[in-house]
Structure 1
Amino acid sequence: MEINKIDISTRYATHADLPKLGKFLQMLVEAERPFNPTLKDGEIFYYDLKTLIEDEQTAILVIEFNAEIVGCGYAQIRSAKAYERHELFGYLGFMFVSPEFRGKGINKLLINDLKQWVLSKGITELRLDVYHDNDAAVKAYEKVGFKKLLTTMRCDIS
């Protein structure tokens, strides 16, 4: 599918977007299941999307192509640990692009807009979590400047 940049726009999510965002959230969960054996079966809600839309410390953005939502993500202002150099940082989450729109620069556009929102709050530290074995996502984030920092490890001892 050819995408004309003129047909793409970014905007803040609204309550009217909740049904579509809910579908995206379940698609994201399904995409992440192979990387996390600890996830419960059935629907999982990582976030309360309504609360995030209303939160002044969070910006949920949606990407539209020809007036159809094809991607989303949020930036949230969070407190850093007492031992870190910065007091606050921006955290990215709920990064999702519809499968048919992947590889077309939409994720980069979304991250750039989220970065601008975080910068507008006077914050220059930006973080996100990604499954270590999710090579496609890791590469996508590295392409826009992220570097690996910490690996969470687990062990089933039953």
Structure 2
Amino acid sequence: MITREATLKDLDTLLEFEQGIITAERPFDSTLKEGKIHYYDLRSFILSPDAAVIVVEDQDQVIGSGYALIKKAEKDYNQFKEYAYLGFMYVLPEYRGKDVNKMITDALISWAKSKNISEIRLDVYAQNEPALKAYEKAGFEPLLVTMRLKP
């Protein structure tokens, strides 16, 4: 297995992965609309100098993905002016549990460090215990829980 930056030739596969992510997240988020939806502008991420879309390949098949996007700090009181936001983490079901997500996360962290970014963040559903464990294993720690109420 190898990691590499995605190219526009990967876009069709990456769009399929996006729908896989949405399908996996629907049980955790009742606010998602039905039908096909899109979270990401993958084309612009692939082309942007402020983003990296990483894929893992096994025998010339893309089996996993993730991105890092440099964002400006939302608050002027943060110790950092910008941070890398990780997202689009997806691994084909038959490759889960084989450290593919770790390969992607490690590559994205390395990319962020190469851009002199010292803060890296991601969002994960609180009920998604396998993802929480994977990110904690990679060194992430919980920071904030978003609560909601639908009156």
- TM superposition score normalised by structure 1: 0.93
**Counterpart in the other structure of 1:15:** 8
CA RMSD after TM alignment: 0.6
**What is the CA distance between 1:51 and its match in structure 2?**
1.1
* Structure 2, unaligned runs of 5 or more: none
After superposition, the C-alpha distances for 1:59-108 in whole angstroms (9 at most, x for unaligned) are: 00110011100000001111112111111111100011111101111111
Alpha-carbon deviations, 1:11-70, whole Å to 9, x = none? 111111011000000010000000000000001100111111111100001100111000
Alignment of 1:89 with 2:79, yes or no, is no
CA offset digits 1:130-151 (Å, max 9, x no partner) = 0010011111100100000000
Could you say what secondary structure the match of 1:148 adopts?
A: coil
Indicate yes or no: 2:117 matched with 1:123: yes
Number of residue pairs matched? 150
SS in 1 for 2:63: strand
Equivalent residue for 2:40, pick from 38, 43, 47: 47
Matched, 1:139 2:133: yes
Equivalent-residue separation in structure 2 for 1:49 and 1:76 (angstroms): 11
Structure 1 runs, 4 residues or longer, greater than 2 Å off: none
Give, as a single letter, the amino acid of the residue that structure 2 aligns with 1:35: F
Q: Distance in 2 between matches of 1:15 and 1:109?
A: 21
CA distance in 2, matches of 1:144, 1:85: 22
TM-score when normalising by structure 2: 0.98
